[in-house]
């Protein structure tokens, strides 16, 4: 394996690690919400304020969490991953 392959393999491994961590975070959030819905209906049905239950509130937070995790991944990709590839391409010319 030459140096170029090693650099790209290392970058691919880093990308997989970040992707896996963010995927596990989203799965924890989502399945935690689903388990609350399934096994703690009284909590999820109780009202925070009139017209807003814990179930609706936490469901909205699940959606927001997905957006935040996507933003983290895109930011990491733009600020680290893509720059590392660009720097390597420029240095290899």
- Map out the domains of the chain as residue ranges: 18-92
- pLDDT of 6 reads 86
What whole-number distance in Å separates Cα of residue 91 and Cα of residue 37? 53
C-alpha span between 29 and 37 (Å, rounded): 12
C-alpha span between 58 and 29 (Å, rounded): 10
How large a percentage of the chain has pLDDT more than 70? 98
Predicted local distance difference test score (pLDDT) of residue 48: 97
- 84-93 contacts: CB < 8 A, separation 24 or more? 84/11, 85/8, 85/11, 88/4, 88/7, 88/8, 92/4
Residue 47 DSSP code: E
pLDDT lower than 50: segments of the chain: none
pLDDT, position 5 = 79
pTM across the whole model: 0.85
Report CA torsion sign: 38, 40, 41, 44.
Answer: negative
């Amino acid at each position: 394996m030459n140096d170029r392959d090693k650099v790209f393999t290392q970058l691919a491994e880093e990308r997989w690690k970040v992707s896996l961590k963010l995927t596990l975070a989203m799965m924890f959030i989502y399945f935690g919400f689903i388990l609350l819905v399934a096994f703690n209906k009284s909590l999820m049905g109780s009202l925070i304020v009139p017209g807003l239950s814990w179930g609706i509130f936490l469901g909205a937070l699940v959606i927001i969490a997905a957006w935040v995790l996507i933003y983290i991944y895109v930011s990491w990709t733009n600020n680290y991953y893509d720059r590392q590839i660009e720097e390597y391409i420029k240095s290899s010319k």
